[in-house]
Chain A
Amino acid sequence: MGRMFYKMAAASLLTSLAILSIQHPVDASQTPGIRVSYIGLQDVPFRSLAEGTAGSGEIFYYVKHNTQPSLAVKLKNLGRVSNAYAYVYEAPPGHTTIPLKRDGNQLLLPSTLKPSLVITAQGGYWVRHGIPNYNLSVKVFGPIYALWEGGLPTNKVIHPGPLKNVGSHELLATIQTHTSASGVPLWDLRQLVPSFPGEGVYRVNYAQRESAPSSWTFAPSVSPLWPYVAFSGHFLQSTPNVLTPPIVVNWATGKITRFSEVVSVRSQANGYDFYSISPLKTGNHVINKLDFESPWGFYNLSPTPKAYPNLIIRTQHFYSNDPWSPSLLGKTLLINKPEENVRYSWADHPGNNNFDFKVDVFGFHSYTDHVAIAGGRFVVQAPSYHQYPSWVLSHQWPSTTFIDVQSGHYATTEGIYTWPAQNIGTGYWMGWTATPNLSMFRSIPQGLRGEYRVNSNHRPRLYVSPVDGRLHLLYAQGGLWNINHQYSLVERNLNQGKYINAWELVDTLKGHPHVVSQLYALPDALLYQGPHGVILDHVAYSPSAFTIMPPDSKSTWSHFVNAVSGYRTGNDPLHLSQWLNHYFGSELLGQGTIQSVLDTNTGFQFTLIPHGTAPWTNQIPGLGVVGRHPVVISYNQHTQRWSVAPLMSDPISVSKIMPNSAQANIPTTVTIPVTNHANYIASGTVKVMINGRQQSSQTAQIMPHGTDILSVPWTPTHAGTSKLVVQWNGVKLASNVLSSSVVPRTGPQKLWTDSSPSMEEALIVLLLVIVISGSGFWIWRRTL
């Protein structure tokens, strides 16, 4: 009896001690505001459990002096040869904390509460030697921001994240992460689980590290022995080479708001990523076609390792017949060819989040390579990481823009956004219209210089112009530089050739933009007009110092930086006359203005309007005398001859306009012969108005004493008379009256006859009908 008593007493004592040890806070965080309490079931210490010892435990996170936790984690390890599991619970709906119940000495979670995260750690441990285990599989339940843009408002293409449509315990996404042997996360794959049919949401996020970091830090977590809960955070990892714990909690409401990216997309120097609307498909030998931002490449092209990239290639890609192509909005057709818009941004210095140049290209190219991702679990059709830059630069693109950050800094983690090459009008690049929408190119942020080319198919090659001393896009049609709050420099390509050959300094102050000065790089001449008057410099020069491609590797980057370094500043855009200081040819100088500068096939031509009475200084041999009257000066590059002709006031006339009559609703073509009576090229805009509505507007260059026939399509909508007016440069040139009549309705008999089928077919069928009817009638008669 006594022995039994002592045994019972000893057991009670031991039990009491065990209960006391369970309830005693262990490894609590030192951070003010959040207390961590661990309860080890079966007496397993927290550290042991974290390192992989079999057992179970519970972690509770308390905010300040709350008696109920805001977050709870149930841990279960099955031993070193198996996986470790964590079930993460947040406050239930309508609560800001988890209402634990005390059952004797135990704390029980509400029976109806389900985990918001279920995390599986391969290897059976969470932390060893201070290194968290990020070989994880995670299931995300409920509206937690776990894929990019999961919580942001709608943008034009991607619909709002699926958060608002997800039930509180619906499986939203799966996440898989994998690390190197040293514990640095190598790839992070996230897939949306609900199908959300018809919704353009991100269904795949994939981030892959392409080089080992020079240094690595795991940022502090609330509980270091289970290091996945952050004090605060965002979805994106903002600091390179630092991994903030991914579970972000709103401690005030007790809700898990985010499961952050484990491998950063934007904050690492070398990365290969996919953000796709189309999902990944499983199965043997499945080649996945991903779309939208697929792929996304980040590169450090500088010789030394850096934390940030200095080349970012961001694409917007849709494969053939992709149902998510934005061009399908409002249309029901599938686009039978791939399309992509690639933003290729780089810096001429090691990566520091500032970028200096961009070529933006748009076109229709297929992905043909197959790339394994996620440790070989999936194969996608895309250019590989290492081939991606050369893939972009080796193709020809029908629409290209070029941006040069002339002043200030352009900080970005996604590349330079300005002037995307696809924004030239859907109708234009779908081939529905012949006129691009160039309104985007009429403005540009201050400090940026941009150029565009939307009408020819070339590789995105650049060249340096010795005239202005800057880098340009080969075959650019035009450009714009927003120098400062007052001045802009407009670039033009007069002859649709390879090079920019006209610059206009525009004063945009007070909302009345006006041209301050102009400079033209013409064949064998540089022409200037500005406050100093007109300077025509007859000199041979090269429009291009050299051509160069954007860098796509470390070696080409170094070459690029060295080659372009001397041209980063360029000539002063506010003083175009100084650009002529580098050239020493024979000159024509004087006070006046110039108009209608043409770069023709044979040379050039411009109109010179002298001002004042001072004589012109003319050192150009063969040019002739320039007096005080407006003249048209022409130069033939082949014969090297000049001509000076007086400017005619009305050189253009219109002769007989045909036809005079038309029929309502039937299209016709009105031909308008336009004749140039001058002995120089007449250039201008011909507008044709019918009944006050513009029917046609064309730019015309009519050869000396030549006639151009203008063809204007027109369909009269009703019978009667219509007034046609022809304008040349806004001035009425001619008018005509067109009459239209209604086509009488074809007679009903003819309509009936024309719509009747051939007699043979009708007779055959009729014969069959009669035979069948007759047979039926005969059979029926026999039965009467």
Chain B
Amino acid sequence: MHQTSSNRLHPKVETMALIVIGFLYAAYFVLRYGGLWAENDTAVFTQVTRSMLQAKSVLFAGQYTHGFGYPTWLGTLSLLTGLNVSVMNTIIMPFIGVILLLVTAFVAYHTFLKSSRLAMLSVLLLFAVPDLMFTVLRGNHEKLNIALMLMALVALFRSFEVVYEGNWRAATAWIMLFYTFAFINATVNDYFASTFAVASTITLIAGAFLINRNVPAAARYRGQIVRLTSYVGATWLLVWWVMLYVFPPAGHDFQLLHGAITKITNLFLTLHTSSNPYSAPASQWSGYVAQFLVASFRWVLFLLSLLVWVQEIWRLVIKKQQHRTLEHLFLLSLYGAFGFLVAIAIPMDFTGMNAGTNLEVRNFPYFALMASPLLVWGLAQGYRRLSLVSRRKFAAITGGLLSLFILIGLFKSTLDPAISNQWMFYTPAEKESLTAFDRHSIDATLWSGPDNRLVYANAMLSSSTGTSSQVTGYHYASSDKDILISPEVIENSMVQHKNIPPYQQRNCIYDNGQAQIYRTVPQTLFQNGLPPQ
């Protein structure tokens, strides 16, 4: 193994190790259920991509209205490789997502922290944030949004550097690259692109505020802050251009803004919530211990990074310390901005807005991306003050805890049934039964479980459009002609304390040994009795 002169591993070895860890993480995610996993966004984008390939256009009825980038990318890869869209989205994309995250996060953190070692540690910390890992591993656009945002930040700082050096040719290239990343980000998802724009705007405002208050650390970068205005303005223009002209279906999202303002106003005037986004998480885990464990690192990350942030803001604004890099100041601002977005997402989630029932969950990974390098920087400051013996103990304890959190994160990101009541896997027997139902049923609705686990699985498997049959989950209705029963459906109903529909008195019309489909015994001539004549 290559080592540096200080008896540490060569940075490139450490980098490689990081990639291997990421690869193994993705491999575990895929292999945990033998590749047979599905969840909401993965199913949606698989179906959208299939429809897009059939329509041979990015504009078609049923297109994902917030951006066409991910289905286009997924569809292109599927066509290039010849792999089925669902295989690409569930088996290959997790690996690609992890590599994208590792590479772009490492480069971005290196830009912020000016240290490969610290960048590597920051990236390692990300493995312990299961919300982020799940976001990146599953089959939706967020892996691209995250990568593009991080690369946009890198391009931004590179452009600052080369402008400062007077290298205008290189500056042009980096500026164009920044705009390209911002544009692509908007085509992938206008919400997350505008989130980045909002965060950048807040950063700009914060910078202007600090300069106005004659904060010495910020005053040095007056020119860059001013230059940042044009970047932020251009980012907004690019986002709006995509929403209004490039991909008009995204323009409907402007209506969400009006609705959101109205609902927020009502919420604070009436204090009446339309939904409780915290009721679901409480019942999602097998017990309080599991619930505590899976949320533990989130709180550790949040509280420790907040402590570092507050302390640093105090030093800069009150103590008027200087000698901070622009990148460091930017990191502080972005941390505050994304933290603010998480904070305002909380009341938004209480409004019950269709597009806003899980904004906190969606904004948190971005906050974690900024919290991680900030926390590592803060820990590094404290580490330097420790004695050699203390450093070894600290490293051992931190390493041990981090490993534990990564392991817990693995269980959470795969929604492992050992700790989770909501599952994302399906069995080969269930897959067969869904395929049989899709092929042979007419005008039938199949109840498939106490949640949408198998509904998503069916979406991954079925390419039928305009079908007269449907797979449903959650509440059993009398209109559900068929019921799918498997040991997993029964077990899942038990752990969620939900009733299993009475299937014993129905006809068993399908049985593959592990999964069965039961159909209502016809009692009237309208039940299975009247084919079209």
Contact = CB atoms under 8 A, between A and B. Distances in A.
A455 interface: yes
B34 A761 contact: yes
B6 interface: no
Nearest to A338: B532
A717 B531 contact: no
B33 interface: yes
A784 B2 contact: yes
A175 B529 CA distance: 44
Contact of A320 (B490, B494, B529, B532): B532
A366 B532 contact: yes
A713 B532 contact: no
A701 interface: no
A754 interface: yes
Interface stretch (B177-185, B243-251, B417-425): B417-425
B442 interface: yes
Interface stretch (B144-152, B313-321, B500-508): B500-508
A381 B297 CA distance: 66
Contact of B479 (A364, A430, A749): A430
B34 A757 contact: yes
B532 A762 contact: no
Interface stretch (B23-31, B135-143, B208-216): B23-31
Contact of B36 (A366, A752, A757): A757
A667 B501 contact: yes
Contact of A769 (B12, B27, B32, B525): B27
A685 to B, nearest CB: 18
A745 B286 contact: yes
A388 B443 CA distance: 28
B487 interface: yes
B499 A715 contact: yes
A667 B499 contact: yes
Contact of A398 (B466, B468, B497, B526): B526
A336 B530 CA distance: 12
Interface in A298-339: 320-321, 332-338
B445 interface: yes
B273 interface: no
A677 B499 CA distance: 38
A105 interface: no
Which of B417, B469, B524, B530 neighbours the largest number of chain A CB atoms within 10 Å of its CB? B524
A363 interface: yes
Contacts of B500: 665-667, 715
B443 A335 contact: yes
B443 A457 contact: no
Interface string B11-48: 01000100010011001001111111000000000000
Contacts of B490: 666
B416 interface: yes
A323 to B, nearest CB: 10
Contacts of A429: 526
B495 interface: yes
Interface in B476-493: 477-479, 481, 487-488, 490-491, 493
B526 A748 contact: no
Given A333-B443, A713-B502, A431 B528 contact: yes
Contacts of B529: 457
Interface string A631-671: 00000000000000000000000000000000011111100
B354 interface: no
Contacts of A457: 525, 529-530
Contacts of A773: 20, 23
B54 interface: no
Interface in A758-784: 758, 761-762, 765-766, 769, 773, 777, 780, 784
A757 B33 contact: yes
Contact of A336 (B16, B32, B468, B477): B468
B470 A332 contact: yes
Given A748-B418, A773-B20, A334 B466 contact: yes
A755 B490 CA distance: 14
Range of interface residues on B (Cβ < 8 Å): 35 or more
A524 B269 CA distance: 77
A333 B468 contact: yes
A746 interface: yes
Contacts of B387: none
A755 B31 CA distance: 11
Nearest to B423: A755
Interface in B441-478: 442-443, 445, 466-470, 477-478
A617 B467 CA distance: 69
Interface string A239-282: 00000000000000000000000000000000000000000000
A427 B525 contact: no
Nearest to A753: B418
Nearest to A783: B12
B443 A757 contact: no
Contacts of B31: 757, 762, 765-766
A365 interface: yes
B498 interface: yes
Residue of A332, A363, A665, A667 ringed by the most chain B CB atoms within 10 A: A665
A395 to B, nearest CB: 7
A766 B27 contact: yes
Nearest to A429: B526
B30 A765 contact: yes
Contacts of B2: 784
B322 interface: no
B527 interface: yes
B501 to A, nearest CB: 7
Interface string B393-416: 000000000000000000000001
A581 interface: no
Interface in B291-342: none
B533 interface: yes
A437 interface: no
B230 interface: no
Given A321-B468, A667-B499, A434 B417 contact: no
A490 B285 CA distance: 59
Given A713-B505, A752-B416, A431 B468 contact: no
B523 interface: yes
Contacts of B501: 667, 715
Nearest to B31: A762
B505 A334 contact: no
Contacts of A427: 478-479
Interface in A345-394: 363-366
B121 to A, nearest CB: 21
B11 to A, nearest CB: 12
Interface string B188-229: 000000000000000000000000000000000000000000
B468 to A, nearest CB: 4
A455 B525 contact: yes
Contacts of A584: none
A745 B421 CA distance: 10
A713 B481 CA distance: 17
A711 interface: yes
A219 interface: no
B532 A667 contact: no
Given A364-B531, A398-B526, A667-B500, 10 more contacts: A321-B466, A364-B530, A365-B532, A395-B533, A457-B530, A711-B505, A748-B417, A766-B27, A769-B27, A773-B23
Interface of B: 2, 12, 16, 20, 23-24, 27, 30-36, 286, 416-419, 423, 425, 442-443, 445, 466-470, 477-479, 481, 487-488, 490-491, 493-495, 497-505, 520, 522-533
10 contacts: A321-B466, A334-B466, A366-B532, A398-B525, A746-B494, A754-B487, A757-B34, A762-B34, A766-B31, A780-B12
Identify the 5 closest CB pairs spanning chains A and B, nearest first: A757-B34, A748-B418, A336-B468, A337-B532, A432-B479
